[in-house]
Amino acid sequence: MLELLQAAAHEAANILSPHGPPTPTSPHSYTPTDFSVHFFMQLAVILLACRVVGWLGKKFLAQPQVVGEMIAGVVLGPSLFGLLLPEMQGALFPKETKNVLYVGAQLGVGLYMFMVGTSFAAGHFRSKAKSAMSVSLSGIIAPFLIAVLITPWLLKVPGLFADGISQANATLFMGACIALTAFPMLARIINERGLAKTSLGTLSLTAGAFDDACSWCVLAIVLATFGAGPGVAVLAIGGGLTYVLFLSLFGKRLLAPLGRIVEREGEMSLTVMGVTLMLFCLSAFIMDAVGIHAIFGGFILGVFMPRGLFVEELKRKVEPMAVVLLLPMFFTYSGLNTRMDMVNSPQLLLIALGVLLASIVAKGVACYVAARFSGEDNRTALGIGALMNSRGLMELIIINIGLQKGIIGPTLFSMLVLMAIVTTVMASPLFELVYGKKARETGELDALDSPLAKAA
């Protein structure tokens, strides 16, 4: 009996081992079955970790589920799981399977940004554009000024940026990272806190939308110029602009029949959903093929999709799968690339803290000052600064692109992941501290039944 148990344990240990024939670079190679076994086990562990950490964050810190998932991704990577149980972590997430996880991650984040695009209300932002301009401009100008100051210093540290990158490209990338606001998360916080119809909420959403649009444009320029010559830049910029112009001129007209079919039938049929997802894949392919990134294709197409019942049905049928099953793969893929152990010297720790502090000052403090000069009272300006400082998922997207394209190295990537998590986690409690609690006591906002509001 003991021998049978030992044999069974030995076989179980071999499940996650490669079973293919030897190759010139490895004594064993992975078969399709090996990739399948790893993928399903990885996905099960990812979902468990994201649900547990997300629940803990919501229960004890009143953080949105997505914040817990960001942290869970880092937990599953080499920074914690790999540090405590390196052999188990290596067996579960071998480097040979990262490409499979990467594809799932891109599908998840692409679909998520597609859904964000369907919620983009251009008219709402245009109505408040003028009043939000000063806050928005300060949230762009200050981060890029900070980037101009700190990037030459960062370029002197080996391994933070790619070898041979120009100071201009490095500065533009850092400016985009610092200027970014987590627009989807900002919208979620504003809705959860009852701010959707307040001037503070509208002002923050409008400024956040402008800042994100500018950051993505800058990133597109960096991606276009950080290539193999002017032809790559021409293809990326020209192809991207052509595609956006095409959708601006013809997108709504060409896509409108999908909305009419859904309105007529009272629901989204599987055929309409299939066509919609096919268009999403084509849009993601176009932006990837011209040299920018698939997520741009998802978001841009979402902006021009029909509204009304079409979006309601799309969110009901597609969004749960994208958010619950696919998006967590993106957080884990980011976590697998995050190595906090690489910040292993006083100098690198000082740099990480410096980047974090510079990001908070350049975004939160700058937007607070701009709001005050725009005539807002101190409490409202503090609330705007707290909300605008959140970076969340959008920051992870932009730095993953930077790592994938070879703009930054793993050490700077880890520092920027830390900055994204800290600025996101601090947004809700800081807002409640400087604005929310007082506003609820005076009746400006409805009561918020959460541990955060009671503790703030």
pLDDT in tens, 8-35: 445 444 555 555 444 455 545 677 777 8
Average pLDDT of the residues in 353-363: 92
- Taking the C-alpha atoms of residue 239 and residue 302, their distance in angstroms, rounded to an integer, is 18
Q: Is the pLDDT of residue 241 over 70?
A: yes
Q: What are phi and psi of 26, to 5 degrees?
A: -150, 140
- Predicted pLDDT at 451: 39
CA-to-CA separations, 227 to 9, 264, 396, in angstroms, rounded: 50, 48, 22
Q: Which option is the CATH number for 99-455: 1.20.140.10, 3.40.50.150, 3.40.190.10, 1.20.1530.20? A: 1.20.1530.20
Neighbours of 221 (CB within 10 A): 19
Q: 156-165, 180-189, 191-200, 323-332 — which is least confidently predicted?
A: 191-200
- Taking the C-alpha atoms of residue 352 and residue 421, their distance in angstroms, rounded to an integer, is 13
- Taking the C-alpha atoms of residue 444 and residue 96, their distance in angstroms, rounded to an integer, is 55
- Predicted pLDDT at 226: 66
- Picking from 325, 435, 366, 354, the residue whose alpha carbon sits closest to that of residue 174 is 354
Q: Where are the domains of the chain?
A: 99-455
- Predicted pLDDT at 427: 85
Average pLDDT of every residue of the chain: 81
- Predicted pLDDT at 452: 37
Query: Do residues 424 and 362 lie in contact, with contact meaning Cβ atoms separated by under 8 Å?
Result: no
The residue to which tokens 């994208």 are assigned = 322
What's the sign of the alpha-carbon dihedral 132, 208, 242, 247? negative
HEC per residue, the chain: CHHHHHHHHHHHHCCCCCCCCCECCECCCCCHHHHHHHHHHHHHHHHHHHHHHHHHHHHHHCCCHHHHHHHHHHHHCCCCHHHHCHHHHHHHCCHHHHHHHHHHHHHHHHHHHHHHHHCCCHHHHHHCHHHHHHHHHHHHHHHHHHHHHHHHHHHCCCCCECCCCCHHHHHHHHHHHHHCCCHHHHHHHHHHCCCCCCHHHHHHHHHHHHHHHHHHHHHHHHHHHCCCCHHHHHHHHHHHHHHHHHHHHHHHHHHHHHHHHHHHHCCCCHHHHHHHHHHHHHHHHHHHHCCCCHHHHHHHHHHCCCCCHHHHHHHHHCHHHHHHHHHHHHHHHHHHCCCHHHCCCHHHHHHHHHHHHHHHHHHHHHHHHHHHHCCCCHHHHHHHHHHHCCCHHHHHHHHHHHHHCCCECHHHHHHHHHHHHHHHHHHHHHHHHHHHHHHHHCCCCCCCCCHHHHHC
Neighbours of 84 (CB within 10 A): 8
- Predicted pLDDT at 283: 93
Q: Which residue has the higher pLDDT, 278 or 421?
A: 278
pLDDT in tens, 100-152: 888 888 898 889 888 878 876 665 556 556 667 788 888 889 999 999 999 99
Q: What are phi and psi of 77, to 5 degrees?
A: -85, -170
% of the chain exceeding 90 in pLDDT: 21
DSSP 62: -
- Predicted pLDDT at 130: 62
